[in-house]
């Protein structure tokens, strides 16, 4: 807890929203491994058990529930069984739903929260966004999250449907006197998200009513991993109270306050180790989030079902004299040293045994040896054979890393100062980019004139590599080539008096003829494959209303009443089940006006502007980090400083 923790002894449980928070479950990871195949399912079941034991009002997941977008039938079956066992039942739901569910659940079959579906019997509602692993942007356009939503097990929200802008509307919930605004932003490419932020095309709608505690759950890189390859915290709007940050696997679940924006960030981390890195060795947790009006607290819950994992990194230069690595059989000396360290790590792993009945017994061990000379390296696979039956990963237990050069010089051979050294390191890191799309992008940026593409856009080739590597989308290549072929033919047919000899010269002007062709390619790839006639009629009518209003020069959504077209509620949907959340008259709250929220940190900066001044404001706004300009939000007035969230303490009796 921070020093500003507010003590509170008058906390009414009927006004407290309790949410079990977890992220990066990665169901199905390594499922074919006879030793580690059950790890992800065992950990997820413990998370669900904690939700049941703490009598939470909801479960909130930060993405990557599955390890792949289209998991095996075995993984789906085990997931359905767990959710059916722990989240279905007759327990009354105490969360009242206030917002327009047609906007919140576009991917839902019934366009409603699952606990108000008369065909479902929900005891604990699960809310989840998708991550980069269970993203539905790949081949088939239907992911595991879509299946969970269709079957009513999960409330899938936060999915963006437009590549040209992001419009985020909150899920509004109420329990007693506590009101919650839940924002979701499912995973998208960090570079694309940064471009949209730069262009002020990210819109966040604020409730027109004060008193909401605002939470945003997202799934992006938090740590800087290259130019525009992460989401800076400073790019998020200041009115938010708490950020649930998925995607990063190291557990930092204790809320950390952002000094500039005054909101808190909680990073749950993963529940299963998907890589043998130092961050994954941090003890795994889920969190119990309690919200009472403008106060909150996050109680970490250590997971006892996680396989023991010990990570150690040793620079052999620090033990060179001790091991006498300058003489004799260096390889044998290093191998003997590794044996000693591995035995000590296995003993340390025994201390991580929690006594939980289903906790795996064989530990994960990762020893990283930083070499000073290649001669120090030995056969790690052969070395691991002797540890079969003692560790869970004998084949990759030891890895070697070549120590980088200690000094960096510029082109003239002069030593660089500290600032220049950091700049040189950033440049080298960018040049050493290992992702396929980064390599392709760098190739076309640095290629000579003879090797430049004449018809295809280099950015489209970068996108092609990303989809083939990340999503295994084998159809993307054919779709992109066919798209460019059709566009090029249209361009050539539009030329007057074009001879066969002039085709090549004419094609040279093709890229400049349509500067937005790459954006059209992205839209084509991310558009659902089903024909327009098969689109849900309610969605189509709303689209027509939008088009009609835009033609009139106005903004905002259509006024057509779509509630009449909803399926009739059964006896279980409203109150017969004892306290089901009713949307009542508060549902469909009026949309607030569009305003701009800058990312400057000045306390006196106004955060509400008229719509007519948005473009000029964004044009003149500069970013704190030089890359993110601003975030536009839908709001009616500035949030009073007195309502800013603070962490709180509950008495043990009130937990």
Residue boundaries of the structural domains of the chain: 13-302, 309-402, 418-518
**Token pair 């047609």 in the structure block, residue:** 102
Tally Cβ neighbours within 10 Å of residue 13.
15
- What is the chain's Cα-based Rg? 27
Does residue 619 surpass a pLDDT of 50?
no
What pLDDT score does 526 carry?
Answer: 63
- pTM here? 0.66
SS3 302: strand
Nearest CA to 286 out of 76, 88, 41, 19 is that of: 19
Among the listed residues 153, 160, 202, 157, the one whose alpha carbon sits nearest the alpha carbon of residue 184: 157
**597 - beta bridge partners?**
631
Catalytic residue among 50, 130, 133, 247: 133
Q: Which residues of 164-187 are buried (b: 16+ CB within 10 A; e: fewer)?
A: eebebbbbbbbbeebbbbbbbbbb
Residue 475 has pLDDT above 60, yes or no: yes
Answer yes or no: are the C-beta atoms of 238 and 216 closer than 8 Å. Answer: no
Residue 3: partners with Cβ closer than 8 Å, 6 or more residues away: none
CATH number of 309-402: 3.30.110.110
Cβ atoms of 216 and 240 closer than 8 Å: yes
The confidence score (pLDDT) of residue 471 equals 62
H or E segment to which residue 19 belongs: strand 16-22
pLDDT digits (tens, 9 = 90+) for 367-378: 999 998 888 899
- Please write down the long-range contacts of 581-584, taking CB distance under 8 Å and 24 or more positions apart: 581/93, 581/94, 581/95, 581/96, 581/97, 581/113, 581/115, 581/116, 581/173, 582/96, 582/97, 583/96, 583/97, 583/98, 583/101, 583/116, 584/96
Query: Per DSSP, what are the bridge partners of residue 185?
Result: 218
Backbone angle region of 30, left / alpha / beta, with phi > 0 → left and psi within -120 to 50 → alpha: left
Q: For 404, phi and psi rounded to 5 degrees?
A: -70, 165
Q: How far apart are CA 564 and CA 654, in angstroms?
A: 42
pLDDT above 80 (res 441): no
Q: What is the mean pLDDT of the chain?
A: 76
Q: Are 386 and 336 in contact (CB under 8 A)?
A: no
Is the separation of the CB atoms in 243 and 216 below 8 Å?
A: yes
CA–CA separation, 288 vs 296, rounded Å? Answer: 10
DSSP 640: P
d(CA 286, CA 222): 19
**Quick check: helix, strand or coil at residue 607?**
coil
The terminus-to-terminus CA distance of the chain in angstroms comes to 16
6: pLDDT strictly greater than 50: no
How far is residue 35's CA from residue 278's CA, in Å, rounded to a whole number? Answer: 21
Q: Write the pLDDT tens digit of every residue in 551-582.
A: 444 433 333 343 334 444 344 444 434 444 44
Phi, psi dihedrals of residue 137, rounded to the nearest 5°: -80, -5
| Cβ(8)–Cβ(295) below 8 Å | yes
Res 382: pLDDT: 93
Per residue, the 3-state secondary structure of 522-591, as one string, reads: HHHHHCCCCCHHHCCHHHHHHHHHHHHHHHCCCCCCCCCCCHHHCCCCCHHHHCCCCCCCCCHHHCCCCC
The C-alpha angle 325, 326, 331, rounded to 5 degrees, equals 45
For residues 94 and 136, what is the distance between their CA atoms, to the nearest angstrom?
Answer: 32
Give the pLDDT band (50/70/90) at residue 530. very low
Buried residues in 199-236 as b, exposed as e (16+ CB within 10 A): ebbbbbbbbeeeebbbbbbbbbbbeeebebbbbbbbbb
The pLDDT value recorded for residue 443 is 77
Beta bridge partners of 21: 60, 287
pLDDT at 645: 55
CA dist., res. 603 & res. 289, Å (int): 28
Average pLDDT value for residue range 307-311 = 97
Q: Of 37-51, 208-222, 411-425, which gets the smallest average pLDDT?
A: 411-425
53 three-state secondary structure: helix
> What number is the average pLDDT over the span 390-411?
78
The answer to whether 617 and 629 are in contact (CB under 8 A) is: no
**Quick check: is 249 catalytic?**
no
The token pair at 348 is 């340390």
Q: In the predicted model, is pLDDT for residue 605 greater than 50?
A: no
pLDDT-based confidence at residue 352 (cuts at 50, 70, 90): very high
Reply yes or no on whether the pLDDT at 440 is more than 80: no
Question: What pLDDT score was predicted for residue 191?
Answer: 86
The per-residue b/e assignment along 463-478, b for 16 or more CB within 10 angstroms, e otherwise, is bbbbbbebbebeebee
pLDDT at 643: 43
Tell me which residue of 309, 305, 287 sits closest to 354, measured CA to CA. 305
Among 276, 211, 189, 291, which Cα is nearest to 244's?
291
Quickly count: other Cβ atoms within 10 Å of residue 541's Cβ: 14
Pick the CATH number of 13-302 from 3.50.50.60, 3.30.43.10, 3.60.21.10, 3.40.1640.10: 3.60.21.10
């Amino acid at each position: 807890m921070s020093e500003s923790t507010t003590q509170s002894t008058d906390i009414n449980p009927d006004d407290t929203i309790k949410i079990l928070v977890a992220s990066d479950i990665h169901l199905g990871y390594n499922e074919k491994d006879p030793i580690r195949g059950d790890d992800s399912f065992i950990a997820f079941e413990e998370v669900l058990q904690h939700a049941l034991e703490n009598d939470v009002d909801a479960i909130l997941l930060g993405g990557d529930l599955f390890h792949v977008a289209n998991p095996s039938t075995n993984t789906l079956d085990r997931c359905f069984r767990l959710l059916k066992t722990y989240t279905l039942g007759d327990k009354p739901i105490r969360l009242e739903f206030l917002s327009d569910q047609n906007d919140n659940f576009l991917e839902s079959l019934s366009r409603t929260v699952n606990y108000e579906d008369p065909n479902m019997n929900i005891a604990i509602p699960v809310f989840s966004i998708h991550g980069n692993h269970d993203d539905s942007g790949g081949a088939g356009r239907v992911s595991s999250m879509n299946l969970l939503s269709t079957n009513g097990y999960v409330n899938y929200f936060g999915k963006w449907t437009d590549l040209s802008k992001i419009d985020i509307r909150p899920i509004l919930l109420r329990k007693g006197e506590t009101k919650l605004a839940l924002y979701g932003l499912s995973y998208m490419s960090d570079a694309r998200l940064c471009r949209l932020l730069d262009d002020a095309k990210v819109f966040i709608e604020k409730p027109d009513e004060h008193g909401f505690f605002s939470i945003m759950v997202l799934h992006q890189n938090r740590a800087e991993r290259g130019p525009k390859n992460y989401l800076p915290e400073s790019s998020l709007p200041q009115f938010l109270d708490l950020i649930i940050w998925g995607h990063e696997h190291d557990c930092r679940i204790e809320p950390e306050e952002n000094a500039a924006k005054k909101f808190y960030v909680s990073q749950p981390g993963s529940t299963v180790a998907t890589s043998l890195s130092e961050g994954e060795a941090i003890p795994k947790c889920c969190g119990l989030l309690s919200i009472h009006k403008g106060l909150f607290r996050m109680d970490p819950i250590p997971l006892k079902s996680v396989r023991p994992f010990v990570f150690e990194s040793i620079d052999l230069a620090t033990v060179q004299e001790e091991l006498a690595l300058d003489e004799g059989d260096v390889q044998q000396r290093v191998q003997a040293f590794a044996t000693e360290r591995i035995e000590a790590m296995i003993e340390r792993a025994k201390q991580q045994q929690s006594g939980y009945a289903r906790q795996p017994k064989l530990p994960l061990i990762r020893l990283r040896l930083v070499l000073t000379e290649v001669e120090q390296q030995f056969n790690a696979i052969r070395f691991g054979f002797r540890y079969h039956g003692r560790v869970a990963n004998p084949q990759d237990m030891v890895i070697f890393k070549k120590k980088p050069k200690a000094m960096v010089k510029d082109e003239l051979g002069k030593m660089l100062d500290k600032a220049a050294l950091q700049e040189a390191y950033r440049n080298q890191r960018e040049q050493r980019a290992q992702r396929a799309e980064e390599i392709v992008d760098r190739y076309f940026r640095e290629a000579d004139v003879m090797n430049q593409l004449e018809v295809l856009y280099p950015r489209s080739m970068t996108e092609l590599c990303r989809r083939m590597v990340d999503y295994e989308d084998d159809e993307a290549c054919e779709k992109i080539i066919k798209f460019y072929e059709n566009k090029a033919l249209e361009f050539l047919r539009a030329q007057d008096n074009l001879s066969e000899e002039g085709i090549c010269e004419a094609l040279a002007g093709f890229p400049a003829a349509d500067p937005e062709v790459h954006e059209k390619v992205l839209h084509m790839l991310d558009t659902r494959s089903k024909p327009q006639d098969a689109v849900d009629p309610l969605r189509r009518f709303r689209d027509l209303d939008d088009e009609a209003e835009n033609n009139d020069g106005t903004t905002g959504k259509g006024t057509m009443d779509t509630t009449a077209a909803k399926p009739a509620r059964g006896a279980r949907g409203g109150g017969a089940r004892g306290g089901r959340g009713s949307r009542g008259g508060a549902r469909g709250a009026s949309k607030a006006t569009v305003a701009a929220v800058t990312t400057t940190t000045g306390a006196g900066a106004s955060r509400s502007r008229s719509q007519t001044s948005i473009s000029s404001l964004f044009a003149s706004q500069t970013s704190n980090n030089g890359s993110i300009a601003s975030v536009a939000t839908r709001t009616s007035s500035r949030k009073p400083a007195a309502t800013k969230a603070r962490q709180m303490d509950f008495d043990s009796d009130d937990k």
